């Protein structure tokens, strides 16, 4: 196995600046959307007093979950000692930080009072999982930044294993916190379950790895650097395991609810008669985001094609966004059960009725800008710092490659 050499990308091509320009425009559009919402008040969005978290939160939660998952590639190298993953660790850490900042930005800009960010940083109610998350997110950036330093600064590399272990532990706690934002809520039928914490961890594995694979393949294709099939194949097989695990958790979540009579209503809503939420659950989350990627990943004749892998990754991301939409907004739309054994005949506040929500353009722009913020950070960072190995060809990354070739010859 040859020593790994990291190099900045040249970043002078029209394609590069076109990408940066496009992402920049998306970021500006998102900021414009946020300004419009804050200036006029949230009534100009699709959100209301029942659907209080809308599409910005869907993107924000997705990005925060994906961020912790993106770090997994580095963790597999540092914590579990898999040599092949080590060259990928710097990009993994960078993407983790970038996705987290993208998610946090969306979250903050959707606040009713984003100007009071300093209040959120100085007043803490430690019984609130949200308050914990503020510390966990900010801490994650700091821990992963130190981890990157240890990984990328030659004299410090000996420390990368313990800090990598610590970062892995931190990311597990972080995603537990993100899942518990909903899991700790007793008010709404769709939440209020501890399974959301481990489920979010497994979701993070899938979303984060899908994102990582897309960024990795795009970076190497566009910078014309060698990326071997061994790396792509290993990562996509791992993605398949994670996608399967997400489906398993979704199954257990719904089976648990279906066993309890009190939750039949919300289950019928999501699985059978919830309109857009039911369609999104079956069609986008389960089929497009779960079953189809699994087929693409494991179908023998197709699965080695990069295009197939890229499509599978994109579908996992789309399915992940749908999963967040169904979980979050579907859970809010289903009416709160204040009077479980009675029907609401009339209420001026829409008690007993399914909440209505149609995302507005500014909200969507703000949400999408979170992804753009993450990607523009990665695009700029790989130009100024040495995050990407000059080559990820099979003979560079795979210690057994030569022996394997020799044996087959």
The residues that touch other proteins, with contacts defined as CB under 8 A, are: 38, 40-43, 48-50, 52-53, 111-114, 116-117, 119-120, 123-125, 127-131, 134, 181, 184-188, 332, 336-339, 341-351, 356
* Minimum gap (Å) between residue 172 Cβ and other proteins: 21
* Minimum gap (Å) between residue 69 Cβ and other proteins: 24
Closest CB to other proteins among residues 169, 339: 339
* Minimum gap (Å) between residue 191 Cβ and other proteins: 8
Closest CB to other proteins among residues 174, 378: 174
- Contact indicator for 319, 296 with CB cutoff of 8 Å: no
* Minimum gap (Å) between residue 127 Cβ and other proteins: 5
Dihedral (Cα; 332, 334, 336, 342), 10-degree rounding: 170
Please choose, from the candidates 213, 178, 201, 186, the residue with its C-alpha nearest in 3D space to the C-alpha of residue 249. Answer: 201
Closest CB to other proteins among residues 82, 262: 262
Closest CB to other proteins among residues 291, 354: 354
Closest CB to other proteins among residues 111, 241: 111
* Minimum gap (Å) between residue 112 Cβ and other proteins: 2
Q: What is the 3-state secondary structure (H, E, C) of 277-310?
A: HHHHHHHHHHHHHHHHHHHHHHCCCCCCCHHHHH
Closest CB to other proteins among residues 342, 408: 342
End-to-end CA distance of the chain: 19
* Minimum gap (Å) between residue 31 Cβ and other proteins: 17
- Contact indicator for 4, 151 with CB cutoff of 8 Å: no
* Minimum gap (Å) between residue 129 Cβ and other proteins: 7
Closest CB to other proteins among residues 158, 261: 261
DSSP 333: H
- Contact indicator for 57, 195 with CB cutoff of 8 Å: no
Closest CB to other proteins among residues 133, 175: 133
**How many CB atoms lie under 10 A from the CB of residue 119?**
9
- Contact indicator for 88, 388 with CB cutoff of 8 Å: no
| Cα 105 versus chain centre, distance | 14
DSSP 2: P
Cα(221)–Cα(15) distance, integer angstroms: 12
* Minimum gap (Å) between residue 71 Cβ and other proteins: 24
* Minimum gap (Å) between residue 359 Cβ and other proteins: 15
Closest CB to other proteins among residues 299, 339: 339
- Contact indicator for 55, 359 with CB cutoff of 8 Å: yes
Cα three-residue angle 208-212-213, rounded to 5 degrees: 120
Beta bridge partners of 389: 6
Closest CB to other proteins among residues 13, 128: 128
Cα(388)–Cα(406) distance, integer angstroms: 29
Residue whose tokens read 């809520």: 185
* Minimum gap (Å) between residue 111 Cβ and other proteins: 5
Indicate the burial class of 41 (C-beta count within 10 angstroms; 0-12, 13-18, 19 or more): exposed
């Amino acid at each position: 196995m040859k020593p790994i050499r990291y190099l900045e990308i040249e970043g002078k091509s029209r394609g590069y600046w076109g990408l940066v320009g496009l992402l920049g425009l998306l970021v500006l559009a998102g900021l414009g959307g946020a300004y419009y919402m804050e200036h006029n008040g949230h009534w100009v969005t699709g959100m209301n007093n029942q659907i209080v978290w809308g599409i910005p939160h869907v993107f924000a939660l997705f990005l925060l979950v994906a961020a912790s998952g993106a770090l997994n590639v580095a963790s597999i190298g540092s914590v579990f000692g898999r040599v092949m993953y080590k060259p990928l660790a710097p990009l993994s850490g960078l993407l983790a930080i970038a996705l987290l900042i993208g998610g946090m930005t969306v979250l903050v800009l959707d606040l009713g009072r984003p100007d009071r960010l300093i209040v959120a940083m100085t007043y803490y109610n430690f019984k609130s999982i949200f308050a914990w998350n503020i510390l966990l997110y900010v801490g994650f950036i700091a821990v992963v930044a130190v981890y990157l330093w240890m990984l990328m600064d030659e004299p410090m590399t000996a420390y990368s294993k313990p800090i990598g272990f610590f970062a892995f532990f931190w990311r597990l706690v972080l995603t537990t916190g993100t899942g518990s934002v909903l899991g700790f809520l007793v008010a709404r039928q769709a939440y209020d379950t501890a399974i959301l914490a481990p489920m979010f961890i497994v979701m993070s594995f899938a979303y984060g790895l899908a994102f990582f694979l897309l960024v990795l393949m795009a970076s190497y294709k566009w910078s014309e650097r060698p990326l071997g099939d061994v790396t792509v194949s290993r990562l996509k097989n791992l993605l398949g395991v994670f996608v399967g695990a997400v489906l398993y958790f979704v199954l257990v979540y719904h089976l648990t609810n279906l066993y309890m009579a009190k939750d039949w209503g919300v289950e019928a809503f999501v699985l059978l008669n919830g309109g857009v939420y039911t369609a999104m659950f079956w069609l986008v989350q389960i089929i497009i985001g779960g079953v189809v990627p699994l087929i693409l990943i494991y179908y023998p004749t197709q699965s080695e094609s990069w295009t197939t892998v890229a499509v599978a990754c994109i579908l996992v991301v789309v399915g992940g966004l749908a999963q967040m939409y169904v979980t979050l907004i579907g859970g809010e739309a289903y009416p709160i059960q204040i009077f479980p054994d009675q029907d609401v005949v009339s209420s001026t506040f829409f008690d007993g009725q399914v909440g209505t929500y149609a995302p507005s353009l500014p909200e969507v722009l703000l949400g999408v800008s979170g992804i753009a913020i993450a990607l523009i950070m990665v695009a700029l960072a790989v130009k100024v710092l040495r995050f990407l190995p000059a080559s990820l060809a099979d003979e560079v990354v795979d210690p057994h490659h030569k022996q394997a070739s020799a044996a087959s010859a």
